[in-house]
Chains A and B, each alone.
Chain A
Amino acid sequence: MAAVKSNEDNKSNFRNKTLPTVLFKIARFNPVTDLRMKFIDYKVEYENWSTVLDALLMIKHKIDPSLALRYSCRQASCGSCGMMINGKPRLACFTKINEVKSDVIRIEPMNNFPIIRDLAVDLTKMFRNHKKLKPYIIRSDSEIPDFSTSKEFLQDPDSIEQYIQFANCIKCGLCNSVCPTMATDSSFIGPQALTQAYRYVSDNRDKGKKTRLKIIDDKHGIWRCHFAGSCSKVCPKGVDPAMAIQFLRGYLLGFR
């Protein structure tokens, strides 16, 4: 893949084939210097296998080094590269350009997260809520009772199936970005954190259910979820936050 600018070099150096091009319209905003967001166009060539992240990095390296974005693993594992791709929250590294099926790709920062710069958003609040729900096994005994001995809280394969799906969360924030409650209630705890609460509540080694249910039973807690289900629709790891949230609420309502 190459910028249109270096199209000719690419052809002679690499192969004798004209690559398809796509127009990226990228949101640019620097809170320190800009009063409003603007869109800048970049035309890039792409291969069959190119992802949106490949294109963005190419733009950054070859056309406009001032473009700010966050990424790390490039393989849908770290959860850093969430952004709006043609209006939908997706991972840039997990979205191939040709699967977007459009000659114009509009890239914006993930909704419902404050912008640090351009496509990089501030995930602090999401991590704070995640932490608030105690994402670890709560017990009175410890895996490391003292410095000389240690034991493991063993788990059997059948019990793992109860929560492995929810443990797949990579904290990308796409679910929070699409949630209609998050869109208007900045204090809402959010689908990401609620799902992690259920991940630990459903772990039979954990004894922290009461503590977590108390935290989510709040006016900005679980009751603000209206089961629109969009969180599950956009989750790139099959976590299905809507399922976890309803199970969690089932405990509070006495269904479970």
Chain B
Amino acid sequence: MNKFQKNRSGIKSWLNPWGYGIERIAYWLMRITGIGLLIYFIIHIYETSSILDGKAAWNKMLELTQTTEGHIILMIVIGMSTFHAINGIRIMLGHGGIGVGKPGRPDYPYLPKSQNMKNKLCIYAAIGLAALAMLYGAEIMFSE
């Protein structure tokens, strides 16, 4: 079976968040931020392990974070972790069947109850708070 016959949308279905509402965008952001935080976590372990090479090595590593690029990366990390944490709580509750609406006879045009206003507001709040946290972080880092 060649790829045309298999007809799978593949990884591009993960990468394109458009066309299916804010919930699909949240799914996309959750993936991107999850991968981003994993990469940061690995770099962070490498960074902090420099202390094993003595105080000088540690200070040299710290200097890297005190550059404009370092501040921008940390800002992104702040945004990613804030979104991932808040949206993660929404997802965890949802996975337990909490906040996804009650079953009932659907009426046309069949707006899905699992995509209710509470869920949408949570997503907007997660994005908004992530932006605020980034600004707050920037304010502290860049005013040093």
Interface set, chain B 73-118, CB cutoff 8 A to A: 91, 94-98, 100-101, 103-108, 110, 112-115
- The interface residues of chain A lying within 8 Å CB-to-CB of B6 are 114
How many residues on the B side are at the interface (Cβ–Cβ under 8 A)?
39
Q: Which residue of B lies closest to A202 (CB)?
A: B103
- The interface residues of chain A lying within 8 Å CB-to-CB of B7 are 109-115, 121
> How distant is B112 from chain A, measured CB to nearest CB, in Å?
3
Selecting from A56-64, A209-217, A226-234, the interface stretch reads A226-234
CA distance in complex: A202, B98 (Å): 16
A183 in contact with B105 (CB, 8 Å)? no
> How distant is B29 from chain A, measured CB to nearest CB, in Å?
11
A-B contact count (CB 8 A): 150
A243 in contact with B8 (CB, 8 Å)? no
- Of B95, B103, B112, the residue contacting A249 (CB under 8 A) is B95
Q: Which residue of B lies closest to A255 (CB)?
A: B96
B110 in contact with A237 (CB, 8 Å)? yes
CA distance in complex: A109, B7 (Å): 8
B98 in contact with A184 (CB, 8 Å)? no
- Interface residues, chain B, with chain A CB atoms under 8 Å away: 1-2, 4-14, 19-21, 23-24, 27, 30, 91, 94-98, 100-101, 103-108, 110, 112-115
Closest 3 CB pairs of A and B: A238-B106, A238-B110, A250-B97
- 9 residue pairs of the A-B complex, CB under 8 angstroms, read A37-B4, A114-B6, A115-B7, A183-B8, A183-B10, A230-B24, A238-B107, A242-B100, A249-B97
